[in-house]
Amino acid sequence: MIKKHWITSLLLAVTAFPMMAQNLEQQIDNLLKQMTLEEKVRLSYAQAKFCSPGVPRLGVPELWTSDGPHGVRMEINWNDWGHAHWTNDAITAFPALTCLAATWNPELATIYGKSIGEEARYRKKNVLLGPGVNLYRTPLNGRNFEYMGEDPNLASAMVVNYIQALQSNGVSCCVKHYALNEQEEFRGHVNVIVSDRALRELYLRPFEAAVKQGKAWSLMGSYNQYLDQHASHNEVLLKKILKEEWGFDGAVISDWGATHNTDEAALYGLDLEMGTYTNGLTSEGHGFGYDDYYLGTAYLEKIKKGEIPMEVVNDKARRMLRLILRTSLPRFTQNPMDNFGSLNTDEHVLACRTVAQEGIVLLKNDVSAAAGKALLPIDFSQYKRILVVGDNATRRLTEGGGSSELKAKDEVSPLRTLQERYGKQAQITYAQGYTCGGAYFGRIDQIKQQTIDSLRNDAVAKAKEADLVIFIGGLNKNHFQDCEGGDRRFYNLDFEQDELISALADANKNLVTVIVSGNAYAMPWLAKVPNLVQSWYLGSQAGPALIDILSGDVCPSGKTPFTFARELEDYPAHKLGRVGYPGLDPDSLPAAFQFGDKTNPKSALLLQKGFFEKQAAAIAKDNNINKRNTSIDGRTHHGRGNEAEVYAEDILLGYRWFDAKAQNGTYAQSKSRVVFPFGFGLSYTTFAYGKPTISGNTVSVTVRNTGKVAGKEVVQFYVGDDKASVVRPVKELKHFEKVSLQPGEEKTVSYQIADDDLKFFDENTQQWTLEPGSFTIYVAASSADVKGKVKYVR
Ligand code: BGC
């Protein structure tokens, strides 16, 4: 039997594969020759919520897409957003992408992409709508959990492996949301004003890597605007940069309902229009159907009138055929069964658990004076009465959150895992502690104060009686938490968790604090809690993975993919009131931010000394500008529809900003506004770094495990330009490596400096430029923990 399969697959590989690889374009040419104009046009717009047509007459199949980045979404109705309630669409829910980024382990991105691709293939999807690589600009962004942090190089390293592995299954990625969609508030229209340097050096970088190195087959245009034009049909972003400059040969898919104009959609690079509001039945209901899409009849008529050149039509049809063929043809691998994918295998569950284990970040673990050691890892043999507090100990966190919602075959909660593992040796009780209502899209439950108080009082009373308290709280997938379609309303944890955590810390010294979130949050209780574990949305294996870490079965090795600042206003996006976030009527922009027709500021202006601080001071005095206009009535605020915002921190996003402020002394009095820096994470063991050396363009450093247990360390290499003609960040992450070390073991980690790592984007020449001179290479355990430096002259 095995032999027969092997022979069949070998034959297929020998005969069919070369034909497919070489002849894809020829096949497309043949198809295009046989197709009518109507058939070509029909490829470019939806026929259902998640499906677009092929060419039935010629046997070209339909294209099926599915959300989302963390698992294959349950089936949605053909023609509305309701769940279809199929009984065969439960899947493995993988950890959210913030968790993947926090592993700092690109090999896990490969395993993730391969596993999710197999599930998508089994579910007969051509395109998986992800991964998302918008950057972390504000901790209020409701969708940060779907993205990979604040650093473009970390996100790039992850996204490339994810895509390559996903697409090796014959399933296309759809990298999203291109571009500048760093918030949910006003997402449908906000006009982002950003310098070319910040655009190129930060926000476009992961997309560029996805296209050039990942070889992405499709990409999603976002909802917002850039240069007064919607991103899903944006001349600069799609036509000039993506297609002409980067040579993208895949298809651009609009975000659902992000198309607004036939001419722009036709001419500026959109290939497939999805989700424009419709009931799908051409003449019934609201009288708006699929043919009424911007790329439907209106497009066809314009072509017939000669207003749209045929080369544009053929190019779109070619890209759509390419996407369909790339994802529909058998893959002719050694094992023909691979063509069909697989669902919920043991390997997928293991992949989920491993990514979750490696992504969890140990933020704090103080040695208790009484015990003479830290509480973590928990020695479960020591505690007879264990109290678990918190909604996230039991909540299904794969549900809600918007389009990334999942129907997990089995989602194992932390409480269930604790009961299964330690329920016989200890008495494990649970107190909810706080409640948050249901996970609805676009609205929230109002929680009564009485309920909040009684849940807290109950938990605190029980905590006084327990030997050990494990609090598992944080954000969740409700609207206004970590959820699409709205941003968080404030930086603090909601549902009075700050008061609860504080009270628990007072009630019991043996408190373990676990926060689940896809975002940073205020920690007014930090000094009171002996430890803090940052968990993410961990998917199907949330419980086992978390308890693996708490128990010490696995040594924590995750590192933060973004900066945890003390207060919301410490993030530069929030220092300028509504100018920086979430945007305001462009006429109300202060004069300093009126950039003329093209709303295209130069970095040189934004980064000039004192400019930002001066504007922030002026804005702080101006009530009109500074007034937040986010509604707190439980509904998303849609604004007036013309809001613009300025990414005025420019190239100084995340740690780049905090580095710059530390260097110029702005933060001198306040010691530091950073609670946990980018790239930070503790371990149950300790590591010693040697002195870095450089030979040619290779920097090397030794790392030794000096503790008692095996562990993994992420060695980070940052590059800074010692002297440049433009303002440059103090340092930027360019390389990292996660090394696994037994106690006492030492390894050497190396980084080969590439010329591209030294360049900046020159706005005058519109070129990536290397200015020769001296550079500093920082070897670091986090962006704020530099272990050694070397000079490199180029
Ligand atoms: C989201 C996309 C998603 C699409 C389809 C949109 O609202 O922004 O990320 O893929 O819906 O569900």
- pLDDT tens, residue by residue, 26-64: 999 999 999 999 999 999 999 999 999 999 999 999 999
If pLDDT is split at 50, 70 and 90, which confidence band does 641 have?
confident
Using most ligand atoms within 8 A of CB, pick from 70, 189, 403 the residue to mutate for ligand 1: 403
pLDDT grade, residue 16 (50/70/90)? Answer: very low
Give the closest residue (by CA) to ligand 1 atom 11.
Answer: 256
Quick one: pLDDT at residue 281? 58
Asked if residue 283 has pLDDT above 80, the reply is: no
pLDDT of residue 368: 81
In 466-608, which residue ranges form alpha helices assigned H by DSSP?
A: 497-507, 542-551, 603-606
- Count of beta carbons in the 10 Å neighbourhood of residue 423: 13
* CA 144 – CA 129 distance, rounded (Å): 16
- Which structure tokens are listed for 770? 């290397």
Measured in Å, residue 29 CA sits from the centre of ligand 1 at 32
- Please tell me the distance from the alpha carbon of residue 175 to that of residue 165, in angstroms, as a whole number: 14
Distance between CA atoms of 734 and 752, rounded to whole angstroms? 10
Distance 484 CA to ligand 1 centre (A): 9
CA of 106 to the centre of ligand 1 (A): 25
How far apart are alpha carbons 684 and 348 in whole angstroms? 27
Question: Closest Cα to atom 3, ligand 1: which residue?
Answer: 403
Cα–Cα distance, 773 to 784 (Å, whole number): 25
Answer for the pair 176, 235: CB distance below 8 angstroms, yes or no.
no
Three-state DSSP at 613 gives helix
Report d(CA 199, CA 180) in Å as an integer: 8
Strands (E), 519-657: 531-535, 564-565, 644-646
User: Tokens for 405?
Assistant: 């919602």
CA distance 648 to 607: 8
How buried is residue 462: exposed, middle or buried, by Cβ count under 10 Å (0-12/13-18/19+)? buried
Count of Cβ atoms closer than 10 Å to residue 400 Cβ? 22
pLDDT at 747 over 80: yes
DSSP 3-state of 220: strand
Which of 151, 255, 494, 762 is catalytic? The answer is 255
Nearest to 542 by CA among 97, 73, 94: 94
The pLDDT score that the predictor gives to residue 627 is: 57
Cα atoms found within 13 Å of the Cα of residue 794, Cβ hemisphere only:
24
Does 328 have pLDDT greater than 80? yes
Q: Are 543 and 417 in contact (CB under 8 A)?
A: yes
Token readout for 46 is 């939806």
The dihedral through the CA atoms of 370, 372, 376, 382 has a sign that is negative
User: In angstroms, what is the span from residue 543 Cα to ligand 1's centroid?
Assistant: 28
What SS3 state is found at 435?
A: coil
Asked if the model's pLDDT at residue 6 lies above 80, the reply is no
Q: How confident is the model at residue 626 (pLDDT cuts 50, 70, 90)?
A: low
What is the structure's pLDDT at 278? 72
**Residue that wins the pLDDT comparison between 438 and 366:** 366
| Residue ranges lining ligand 1, Cβ < 6 Å | 67-68, 129, 176, 255-256, 403
What per-residue confidence (pLDDT) applies to 280?
Answer: 62
For residue 403, the CA-to-ligand 1 centroid distance in Å is 5
Q: Name the nearest CA neighbour of 717 among 780, 775, 776, 660.
A: 780
HEC states along 682-747? ECCCCEEECCCEEECCEEEEEEEECCCCCEEEEEEEEEEECCCCCCCCCCEEEEEEEEEECCCCEE
Average pLDDT across the chain, whole number:
93
Q: Ligand 1 pocket: which of 125, 255, 405, 406 to mutate (most atoms <8 Å of CB)?
A: 255
Is 255 annotated in the active site? yes
Quickly tell me which residue has 């996006």 as its tokens: 573
Residue range 477-481: mean pLDDT, rounded: 96
Backbone φ and ψ of 209, nearest 5°: -65, -40
- Coil, helix or strand for 32? helix
- Residue 728 in contact with residue 718, Cβ under 8 Å? no
Phi, psi of 303 (to 5 degrees): -65, -45
- From 393, 690, 369, select the one nearest 533 (Cα to Cα): 393
pLDDT of res. 277 = 79
Which of 325, 337, 236, 267 has its CA nearest to residue 8? 337
CA 515, distance to chain mean position in Å, is: 18
205, pLDDT greater than 50: yes
Rounded CA gap, 754 and 764, in Å?
23
Q: Which atom of ligand 1 is nearest to the CA of 174?
A: 10
Q: What does residue 604 show for φ and ψ, rounded to 5 degrees?
A: -55, -35
pLDDT tens digit string along 704-737?
999 999 999 999 999 999 999 999 999 999 999 9
Tokens at 265, concatenated: 């959609």
**DSSP per position, 643-676:** -EEE-TTTT--THHHHHHHHHTTTTSTTS-SEEE
Query: What confidence category does residue 639 fall into, taking pLDDT thresholds of 50, 70 and 90?
Result: low
Q: Using the Cα atoms of residue 562, residue 565, residue 570 and residue 574 in order, give the sign of their dihedral.
A: positive
Which residues are 272's β-sheet partners?
Answer: 253
Q: Using CA atoms, how far apart are residues 136 and 517, in angstroms rounded to an integer?
A: 14
Structure confidence by residue, pLDDT tens digits, 159-176: 999 999 999 999 999 999
> Is the pLDDT confidence value at 14 over 60?
no
3-state class (DSSP) for residue 79 = coil
* Residue closest by Cα to atom 7 of ligand 1: 256
Q: How far apart are CA 118 and CA 80, in angstroms?
A: 27
Q: Whose CA is nearest to atom 8 of ligand 1?
A: 255
CA–CA dist 455, 86 (Å, integer): 37
Residue 51 Cα to ligand 1 midpoint, Å, equals 13
Q: Residue 125 is inside which H or E element, if any?
A: none
Residue 580 confidence (pLDDT) above 60: yes
Mean pLDDT in residue range 641-659: 95
Residue 750, beta-bridge partner list: 700
Residue 377: is its pLDDT beyond 60?
Answer: yes
State which amino acid sits at residue 534: Q
pLDDT given at position 664:
78
For residue 684, what are its two tokens?
């149950």
Which residue's CA is minimally distant from atom 6 of ligand 1?
256
Interatomic CA distance for residues 121 and 168, integer angstroms: 11
State mean pLDDT over 341-365. Answer: 98
> 63: which 2 tokens?
């294209």
Ligand 1 centre to CA of 285 (Å) is 24
Q: Among 502, 510, 550, 553, which residue's Cα sits nearest to residue 530?
A: 510
Could you tell me the two tokens for 643? 């809001």
Helix (H, G, I), strand (E, B) or coil at 362: strand
What number does the ligand 1 atom closest to the CA of 76 have?
12
94-108, 123-137, 252-266, 603-617: range with lowest mean pLDDT: 603-617
Give the CA angle between residues 453, 455, 458 to the nearest 5°. 105
User: Distance (Å, rounded) from C-alpha 724 to C-alpha 200?
Assistant: 18
Tell me, what's the pLDDT at 4? 42
Would you tell me how many other CB atoms lie within 10 Å of the CB of residue 765?
8
Token pair 């929030």 in the structure block, residue: 574
- The pLDDT of 136-158, averaged and rounded, is 98
Q: Is the pLDDT of residue 25 over 50?
A: yes
Pairing mode, strands 373-374 and 367-368 = antiparallel
**Nearest protein CA to atom 9 of ligand 1, as residue:** 403
CA–CA gap between residue 778 and residue 149 (Å, rounded): 21
Cα-atom radius of gyration of the chain, to the nearest Å? 26
Alpha helices in 521-610, H assignment, sequence order: 542-551, 603-606
Cα separation of 427 and 467, whole Å? 10
Residues 539 and 411: their CA atoms lie apart, in Å, by 7
Centre of ligand 1 from the C-alpha of residue 312, in Å: 26
Q: Sheet containing 218-221: give its strands across.
A: 175-178, 218-221, 251-254
Model confidence pLDDT, tens digit, residues 670-695: 457 999 999 999 999 999 999 999 99
81 vs 544 pLDDT, higher one: 544
Residue 129 C-alpha to ligand 1 middle, in angstroms? 8
- Identify whether the C-beta of residue 403 lies closer than 8 Å to the C-beta of residue 67: yes
- Asked if residue 540 lies in contact with residue 408, where contact means CB atoms within 8 angstroms, the answer is yes
SS3 622: coil
Span from the CA of 771 to the centroid of ligand 1 (angstroms): 41
Q: How far apart are alpha carbons 189 and 641 in whole angstroms? A: 6
Please state the atom number of ligand 1 nearest to the C-alpha of residue 176: 9
SS3 300: helix
Q: Alpha carbon 50 to chain centroid distance? A: 22
For residue 629, the model assigns a pLDDT of 47
